[in-house]
């Protein structure tokens, strides 16, 4: 017991423990950054969105290999060193004995490494577990990737060590010429901060009995030595100069990468982009703390409020445009008066007649005696997961029906990733019909659409949207910025083989002839929740059910027809990829699009109002229900959804205080799809009152991997959710699970039913 009694003070008053306690006591921003990183790599933060995968499976040039992990190691070491630098500058004065040591920053770094070492151990463990269970990595590949990570980590650490070896001299013993001249150059706020630190040096030292030397051996601390004011000011000035040099280097690196961001070679892994941002943030917080001292929190709040006010006044606000639209002409008026014009019966009937001719051409493809089934394809949103699932499901379903699925389809609706996958398959079938050498069922298309989109997007957010925004490109004779919206479309164009890079009006002819199904996109207006109906032709009849409210003057128009509303802004030139982007506005990743209206309106994901596209399909059917009843034998709604409709109801357990506080909001979010499902079922049920023919429904559902319970034990990130993440990035196991999901018993039964209906 006596030995334990004597040992405890030695450990408690050791330099590593005191630095750790000091960080938790004073450096809350630094600790918060580490907590975020720990939460991300362990799957406790962003699991549903697939954020942990960015760290555990970094991808560079569409490959996860030695190079991608090398970059991850470089940037992780960079952030770690930023942590050490900031701690050294803000709190080095509390441990003045360091100044009496040779290579003081090296000693400080060694003793300040408890948190970084804990993170490295956690990260390596999570990488190993993740790579084995999700990417099926062999021991050799795993060892090679980890070697890349540690090579990058060591290389960056050595680079910093060399820099500080030649620039950082002994703290509080920094003896050079012209000290007085240096002091005079310091700004008042810096001198005031330094003088306060000098007072701490003299009066408020933290007790430290032992420290780890360069050989990692415990060494007793000698008696403290105090220094004069000029020397202390010189030291802080020199430390601050080092911080500025490193920050300028990082900014320059981001600037260069941002200029060349459209070249794949310069698109670093998404996790590396986040590490870069975190490094800049930590170093700026350190500089901020040094400049303002005890007033840093107050100064930070004042600056934030000031910048927030300027953003609110549109000083820094950035508008993401829809490519093809004319933003230089007079914007369209967006008001109650103009919205009421959307209920113009004459316009509705004119648009209805145009599409009616299209339906007649569709009908002429079939035997005049036997009436065909009319198919509506409704694809749910869900990022990359929904894109791959929709494409896979359509490939299998169309193949099993010998191509009848697309032949019988008249309309495609939906949201986000599902609409991207459905549009891609429609384009493949169209190219095949036009005689091009295209195999719509080829595995290469699944491989293409499932490739990573996230690296360029995240890096564009860092390098372009935050720091660089001056490069432009031209589309349809108009100039636009190469911003994050451009990056998303450029990536979307690549993974769909450039097949859909055309104005939306290019589909008018092939849709009008009944060669290919019509696509109606319905993104949501952020300002008021209305829909914007985007198609290759005017579809104002999508508001046709509101003709029954002629005497009701307070009717709220549910949506606007894009083609008519933005005719003066060149609506026909809208890039189809831009329309898909507007319908797939993933929060925080894909930016909201601003349309040329007065006042400006912003557009976001179609899934906000109808993630499954069922309500839009029913609106379309209502507009033509009399003709459909006369010319078909019934309709089939095919819902391709990336979530089970009748999911298991889980018991409520472990209800915390935070859960109780957030439940009113979280319950709405968690049941969002349930609300929409109930509404869709109600609309289809009501359709039987105005449509006499059979209405069949096919649900092709992506199921989670609950049938493989061992996988849940292998990967902590997926213990609670074996469903693929809602992200623009998928793992190998997720890709396999999504594609193989079509072979589930429930989906097999649905496919048999579909084949029978289309016989």
How would you class 102 by CB atoms within 10 Å of its CB: exposed for 0-12, middle for 13-18, buried for 19 or more? exposed
Return the structure tokens found at 34. Answer: 């580490």
Which sign does the torsion angle of CA 200, 201, 203, 207 carry? positive
Segments of the chain scoring below 70 in pLDDT: 1-8, 48-49, 99-100, 167-205, 223-244, 247-248, 251, 254-262, 287, 290-291, 293-294, 308-317, 453-455, 461-470, 545-555, 587-588, 647-670, 672, 704-728
Mark residue 298 as left, alpha or beta (left: phi above 0; alpha: psi -120 to 50; beta: remaining): alpha
Contact 503, 476 (CB under 8 A): yes
CA distance 23 to 174: 26
Tell me if residue 45 falls in helix, strand or coil.
coil
State residue 277's pLDDT score. 84
As a whole number, the mean pLDDT across the chain is 81
pLDDT of residue 176: 37
The tokens 């769909």 sit on which residue? 496
- pTM of the predicted structure, to 2 decimals: 0.82
Cβ neighbors of 142 (< 8 A, separation 6 or more) are 127, 128, 131, 132
pLDDT of residue 317: 65
**How does pLDDT run across 164-191, given as a tens digit for each residue?**
777 655 444 443 333 334 434 444 444 4
CA neighbor of 294 nearest in space, from 228, 199, 370, 225: 199
Bridge-based pairing state of the strands 478-481 and 472-475: antiparallel
DSSP code per residue over 88-154:
HHHHGGG-GGGGGSSSHHHHHHHHT-HHHHHHHHHHHHHHHHHHHHHS---HHHHHHHHHHHHHHHH
Largest distance between two CA atoms of the chain: 104
d(CA 231, CA 731): 55
How many CB atoms within 10 Å of residue 219? 14
How far apart (Å, rounded) are the C-alpha atoms in residues 591 and 578?
Answer: 12
Beta bridge partners of 9: none
> Which are the contacts of 322, defined by CB distance < 8 A and separation ≥ 6?
574, 575, 578, 579, 582, 593, 595, 603
pLDDT the model gives residue 220: 87
* Spatial distance between the Cα atoms of 508 and 571, rounded to a whole number of angstroms: 13
Cβ–Cβ under 8 Å, residues 81 and 280: no
State residue 399's pLDDT score. 96
- DSSP 8-state symbol, 518: E
The residues facing 532 across adjacent strands are: 560
State the pLDDT at residue 135.
78
* CB proximity list for 485: less than 8 A, separation 6 or greater: 320, 321, 323, 578, 581, 590, 591, 593
Q: What are phi and psi of 410, to 5 degrees?
A: -115, -20
Strand spans (E) along 146-300: 210-212, 218-220
Nearest alpha-carbon partner for 615 in 545, 537, 668, 547 = 545
């Amino acid at each position: 017991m006596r030995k334990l009694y004597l040992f405890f003070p030695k450990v408690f008053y050791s330099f590593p423990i005191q630095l750790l306690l000091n960080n938790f006591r004073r450096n809350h921003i630094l600790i918060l950054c580490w907590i975020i990183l720990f939460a991300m790599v362990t799957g406790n933060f962003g699991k549903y969105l697939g954020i942990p995968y960015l760290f555990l499976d970094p991808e560079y040039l569409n490959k996860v290999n030695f190079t991608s992990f090398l970059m991850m190691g470089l940037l992780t070491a960079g952030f770690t060193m930023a942590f050490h630098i900031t701690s050294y500058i803000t709190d080095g004065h509390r441990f003045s004995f360091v100044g009496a040591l040779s290579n003081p920053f090296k000693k400080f770094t060694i003793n300040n490494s408890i948190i970084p070492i804990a993170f490295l151990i956690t990260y390596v463990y999570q990488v190993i577990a993740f790579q084995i269970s999700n990417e099926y990595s062999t021991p050799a590949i795993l060892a090679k990737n980890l070697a890349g990570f540690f090579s990058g980590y060591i290389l960056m650490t050595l680079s910093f060590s060399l820099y500080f070896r030649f620039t950082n001299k002994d703290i509080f013993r920094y003896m050079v010429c012209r000290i007085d001249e240096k002091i005079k150059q310091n700004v008042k706020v810096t001198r005031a901060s330094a003088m306060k630190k000098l007072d701490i040096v003299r009066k408020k030292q933290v007790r430290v009995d032992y420290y780890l030397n360069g050989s990692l051996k415990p060494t007793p601390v000698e008696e403290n030595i105090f220094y004069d004011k000029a020397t202390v000011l010189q030291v802080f000035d020199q430390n601050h100069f080092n911080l500025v040099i490193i920050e300028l280097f990082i900014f320059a690196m981001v600037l260069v990468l941002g200029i060349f961001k459209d070249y794949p070679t310069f698109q670093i892994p998404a996790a590396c982009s986040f590490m870069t941002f975190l490094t800049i943030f930590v170093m700026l917080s350190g500089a901020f703390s040094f400049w303002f001292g005890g007033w840093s929190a107050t100064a930070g709040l004042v600056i934030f409020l000031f910048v927030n006010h300027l953003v609110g006044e549109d000083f820094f606000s950035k508008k993401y445009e829809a490519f093809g639209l004319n933003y230089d002409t007079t914007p369209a008026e967006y008001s109650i008066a103009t919205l009421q014009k959307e209920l113009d019966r004459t316009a509705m009937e004119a648009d209805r007649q145009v599409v009616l001719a299209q339906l007649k051409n569709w009908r002429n493809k079939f035997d005049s005696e036997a009436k065909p089934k009319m198919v509506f394809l409704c694809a749910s949103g869900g990022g990359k997961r929904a894109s791959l699932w929709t494409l896979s499901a359509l490939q299998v379903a169309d193949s099993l029906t010998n191509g009848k699925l697309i032949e019988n389809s008249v309309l495609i609706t939906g949201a986000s990733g599902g609409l991207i996958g459905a549009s891609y398959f429609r384009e493949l079938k169209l190219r095949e019909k036009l005689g091009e050498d295209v195999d719509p069922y080829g595995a290469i298309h699944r491989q293409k659409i499932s490739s990573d989109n996230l690296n360029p997007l995240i890096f564009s957010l860092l390098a372009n949207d935050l720091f660089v925004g001056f490069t432009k490109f031209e589309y349809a004779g108009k100039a636009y910025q190469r911003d994050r919206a451009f990056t998303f479309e450029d990536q979307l164009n690549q993974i769909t083989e450039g097949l859909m890079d055309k104005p939306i009006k290019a589909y008018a002819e092939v849709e009008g002839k009944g060669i290919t199904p019509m696509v109606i996109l319905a993104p949501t207006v952020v300002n008021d929740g209305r829909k914007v109906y985007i198609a290759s032709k005017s579809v104002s009849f999508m508001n046709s059910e509101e003709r029954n409210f002629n005497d009701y003057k307070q009717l709220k128009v549910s949506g606007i027809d894009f083609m008519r509303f933005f005719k003066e802004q060149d609506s026909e030139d809208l890039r189809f990829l831009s329309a898909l982007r507007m319908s797939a506005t993933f929060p925080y990743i894909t930016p909201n699009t601003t349309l040329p209206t007065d006042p400006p309106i912003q557009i976001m994901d179609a899934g906000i109002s109808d993630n499954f596209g069922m309500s839009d399909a029913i609106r379309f059917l209502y507009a033509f229900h009399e003709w459909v009843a006369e010319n078909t034998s019934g309709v089939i709604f095919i819902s391709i959804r990336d979530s089970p409709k009748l999911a298991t109801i889980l018991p409520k357990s472990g209800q915390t205080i935070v859960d109780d506080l957030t439940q009113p909001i979280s319950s709405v979010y968690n049941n969002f799809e349930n609300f929409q499902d109930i509404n869709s079922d109600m609309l289809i049920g009501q359709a039987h009152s105005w449509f006499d023919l059979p209405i069949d429904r096919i649900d092709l559902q992506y199921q989670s991997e609950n049938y493989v319970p061992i996988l849940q034990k292998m990967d902590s990130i997926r213990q609670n959710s074996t469903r693929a993440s809602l992200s623009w990035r998928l793992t190998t196991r997720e890709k396999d699970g999504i594609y193989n999901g079509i072979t589930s018993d429930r989906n097999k039964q649905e496919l048999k039913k579909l084949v029978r209906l289309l016989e």
